């Protein structure tokens, strides 16, 4: 099967800052609720909402209760309506892989760890999952035809303006932290491109050399001008993939490290037409611990950072530098979730220690971290500095969501929490392997909500479409936001973004005319959930569409062929059960390459 065929199936707010957001007169009144509903079957180390009713979940290979094809499962599809999990059957170990959607809506998972069950290495793996409605879809892998250029453990990924994906960084083998000996300081495209003299192959990145050691899972975000924001360790840059140019940005303030194992959460704040979609990045949490010391000298009780750093990514904003705020409590491994009402929910993580497990001198159970952050925090980016954070009215969870936990906004507007497993394998010890699912429901879910029909299957850039709307009594104005719910893992939320669309409401308040995003830089072509939001911040259900034409991203068969000729290809783990210690030390001793 050719790749083309596979894809076809597949301080006070300054005027500059405040103008970025359309200020609401109020947010929906009411109380937050928390409900525990269902189990995932596999621990949700990685999570992505793939349809209006289903969530894709990947785990590392371990002794999960869910089975498939006669062996333990490490993938599942969770139904948001029935709260049931259906096993999936990836062929390679998805442990610490990245994830993104292509422009045609197909999800890709890239990288991983040497596999335990099926005998296929996950380090060079590239997995495809095309969402379906009949409950029969599964993960597709064919490493002899579709694979990465090299081993990648802890890479990041980002969808770009043509609907393809850039896979960034990582290590060539499993380890607690990156180092010069295992660093993979490069990036590559999927589908592969013939660009910069590298025909389908990986392209070197000096940034991923300069940011050693703590640069696993770099923070990556596509910007409206076509550049890509990238941050790792204590550094940040703007990257132009068309010219292969890295432009340094001011470093993260106060010595805070922000990428794994010093994991902070990050998000591109909502993009709106009121200020011509000016981008602004927010990074919260992390650690000031050293990235060069032996981890056995670190304590699970070491303080983490409460710092939130925020910068407008324009010439003037960069010159002004980072603006620093403090969360109510420090966190490592938090997840930042964009809500339809324009606010950010900070969930999950721990208040002391560091990411991973079995490394520090005083682990709690196996965990390198302690003191779970049970209570979420709301951040209002349009409020004056000093009054942006609140946990008022938000109930605390009783389930620790530590290392290997995930979170995502759902189409209904609730926030799903899952996972947590700072352990080598399934365990019921302190900070146990967690399968229980929780849903936080913001106050807006208790209010009368708008509804709509007529969303087309695809929404092209700058195109106009009409929605038939039904609005609650007293609602006179609404807005429309397109949200990419993204891919959650290790406190990183790849591709998560919110773009407000230009819209107008008819005089009878029954028809809403909406215009698609201005370009593929503002919203890279791919899946979006469209929320109609009242002036008091109450959203409709988020129905799914594809931004763009829905076509596959560009496919260069010559680049694919050169990749397959030039790279080693998949490996077979003859031992079948490598011993792992301290998050992925690969001690398998017998590997042989398969033929291409």
What integer pLDDT is reported at residue 572 of this predicted model?
35
How many whole angstroms separate alpha carbon 98 and alpha carbon 190? 13
Distances (CA, A) of 31 to 80, 392, 448: 22, 9, 14
- Does residue 305 sit in the same domain as residue 411? yes
- Does residue 397 sit in the same domain as residue 528? no
Tell me the two tokens of residue 519.
């370009």
Calculate Rg over the CA atoms of the chain: 22
Q: Are 150 and 121 in contact (CB under 8 A)?
A: no
How many whole angstroms separate alpha carbon 126 and alpha carbon 108? 7
What integer pLDDT is reported at residue 569 of this predicted model?
66
- Does residue 473 sit in the same domain as residue 342? no
Please report whether residue 593 resides in a domain: no
Please report whether residue 317 resides in a domain: yes
CATH number of residue 113's parent domain = 2.130.10.80
Please report whether residue 595 resides in a domain: no
What integer pLDDT is reported at residue 568 of this predicted model?
77
How many whole angstroms separate alpha carbon 166 and alpha carbon 188? 6
- Does residue 424 sit in the same domain as residue 469? no
What integer pLDDT is reported at residue 537 of this predicted model?
97
Cα–Cα nearest to 165, from 486, 566, 407, 462 = 486
130-161 b/e with 16+ CB inside 10 Å = b? bbeeeeebbbbbebeebbbbbbbbbbbbbbbb
How many whole angstroms separate alpha carbon 46 and alpha carbon 76? 11
Q: Number of folded domains in the chain?
A: 2
Tell me the two tokens of residue 281.
């990045």
How many whole angstroms separate alpha carbon 90 and alpha carbon 74? 8
Intervals of the chain under pLDDT 70: 1-25, 116, 569-596
Residue holding tokens 């497993």? Answer: 421
What integer pLDDT is reported at residue 557 of this predicted model?
96
Please, what is the Cα angle at 540 between 536 and 541, to 5 degrees? Answer: 150
Domain stop point among 531, 547, 563? 547
> In terms of residue numbers, what domain contains 86?
3-446
What integer pLDDT is reported at residue 26 of this predicted model?
74
Domain stop point among 547, 568, 589? 547
Please report whether residue 590 resides in a domain: no
- Does residue 174 sit in the same domain as residue 91? yes
How many whole angstroms separate alpha carbon 403 and alpha carbon 421? 6
Please report whether residue 583 resides in a domain: no
The order of strands in the sheet holding 46-49 is 85-88, 75-79, 54-58, 46-49, 487-489, 492-494
Please report whether residue 193 resides in a domain: yes
How many whole angstroms separate alpha carbon 75 and alpha carbon 50? 14
The gap between the terminal CA atoms of the chain, to the nearest Å, is: 14
- Does residue 311 sit in the same domain as residue 426? yes
Domain stop point among 510, 526, 547? 547
Distances (CA, A) of 20 to 250, 323, 493, 536: 21, 15, 22, 18
How many whole angstroms separate alpha carbon 271 and alpha carbon 169? 27
What integer pLDDT is reported at residue 570 of this predicted model?
54
Cβ burial, residue 244 (10 Å; 0-12/13-18/19+): middle
Q: For 371-437, what is the HEC assignment?
A: EECCCCEEECCCCCCCCCEECCCCCCCCCCCCCCEEEEECCCCCEEEEECCCCCCCCCCCCCCCCEE
What integer pLDDT is reported at residue 25 of this predicted model?
52
- Does residue 154 sit in the same domain as residue 262? yes
Please report whether residue 147 resides in a domain: yes
CATH number of residue 503's parent domain = 2.60.40.10
How many whole angstroms separate alpha carbon 1 and alpha carbon 63? 33
Q: Are 48 and 486 in contact (CB under 8 A)?
A: yes
- Does residue 440 sit in the same domain as residue 517? no
- Does residue 421 sit in the same domain as residue 510? no
Tell me, what DSSP letter sits at residue 1?
Answer: -
- Does residue 165 sit in the same domain as residue 62? yes
- Does residue 230 sit in the same domain as residue 268? yes
Tell me the two tokens of residue 13.
């707010």
Please report whether residue 564 resides in a domain: no
- Does residue 358 sit in the same domain as residue 475? no
**Number of helical H runs and strand E runs in the chain:** 5, 46
């Amino acid at each position: 099967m050719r790749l083309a065929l596979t894809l076809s199936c597949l301080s006070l707010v300054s005027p500059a800052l405040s103008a970025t957001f359309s200020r609401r007169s109020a947010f929906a009144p009411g109380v937050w609720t928390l409900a525990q509903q269902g189990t995932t079957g596999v621990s949700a180390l990685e999570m992505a909402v793939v349809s209006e009713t289903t969530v894709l979940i990947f785990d590392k290979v371990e002794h999960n209760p869910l089975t498939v094809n006669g062996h333990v499962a490490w993938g599942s599809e969770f139904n948001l309506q029935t709260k049931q999990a259906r096993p999936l059957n990836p062929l390679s170990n998805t442990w610490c892989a990245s994830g993104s959607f292509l422009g045609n809506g197909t999800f890709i998972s890239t990288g991983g760890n040497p596999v335990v069950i099926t005998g296929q290495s996950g380090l060079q793996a590239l997995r495809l999952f095309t969402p379906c409605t009949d409950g029969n879809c599964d993960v597709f892998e064919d490493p002899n035809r579709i694979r990465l250029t090299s081993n990648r453990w802890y890479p990041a990924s980002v969808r770009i303006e043509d609907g393809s994906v850039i896979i960034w960084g990582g290590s060539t083998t499993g380890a607690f932290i990156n180092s010069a000996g295992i660093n993979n300081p490069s990036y590559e495209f999927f589908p592969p491109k013939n660009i910069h003299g590298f025909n389908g192959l990986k392209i070197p990145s000096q940034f991923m050399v300069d940011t050693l050691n703590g640069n696993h899972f770099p923070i990556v975000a596509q910007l409206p001008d076509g550049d890509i924001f990238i941050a790792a360790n204590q550094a940040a840059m703007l990257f132009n993939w068309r010219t292969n140019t890295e432009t340094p940005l001011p470093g993260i303030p106060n010595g805070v490290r922000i990428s794994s194992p010093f994991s902070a959460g990050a998000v591109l704040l909502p993009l709106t037409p009121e200020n011509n979609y000016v981008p602004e990045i927010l990074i919260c949490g992390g650690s000031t611990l050293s990235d060069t010391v032996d981890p056995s000298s670190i304590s699970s009780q070491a303080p983490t950072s409460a710092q939130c750093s925020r910068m407008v990514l324009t010439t003037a904003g960069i010159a002004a530098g980072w603006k620093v705020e403090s969360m109510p409590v420090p966190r490592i491994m938090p997840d930042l979730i964009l809500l339809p009402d324009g606010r950010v929910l900070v969930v999950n993580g721990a208040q002391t220690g560091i990411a991973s497990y079995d490394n520090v001198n005083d682990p709690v159970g196996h965990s390198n971290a302690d003191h779970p952050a049970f209570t979420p925090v709301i951040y209002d980016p349009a409020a004056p500095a000093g009054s942006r954070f609140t946990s008022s009215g938000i109930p605390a969870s009783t389930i620790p969501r530590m290392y290997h936990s995930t979170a995502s906004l759902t189409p209904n507007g609730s926030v799903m929490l899952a996972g947590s497993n700072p352990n080598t394998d399934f365990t019921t010890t302190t900070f146990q392997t967690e399968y229980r699912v929780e849903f936080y429901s913001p106050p807006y879910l208790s209010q009368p909500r708008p509804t709509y029909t007529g969303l087309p299957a695809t929404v092209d850039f700058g195109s106009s479409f009409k929605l038939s709307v039904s609005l609650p009594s007293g609602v006179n104005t609404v807005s429309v936001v397109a949200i990419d719910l993204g891919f959650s893992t290790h406190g990183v939320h790849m591709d998560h973004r919110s773009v407000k669309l230009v819209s107008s409401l008819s005089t009878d308040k029954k028809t809403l005319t909406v215009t698609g995003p201005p370009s593929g830089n503002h919203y890279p072509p791919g899946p979006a959930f469209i929320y109609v939001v009242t002036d008091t911040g109450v959203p409709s259900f988020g129905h799914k569409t594809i931004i763009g034409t829905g076509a596959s991203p560009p496919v260069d068969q010559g680049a694919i062929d050169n990749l397959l000729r030039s790279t080693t290809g998949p490996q077979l783990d003859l031992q079948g059960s490598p011993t792992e210690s301290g998050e992925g030390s690969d001690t398998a001793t017998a590997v042989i390459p398969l033929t291409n």
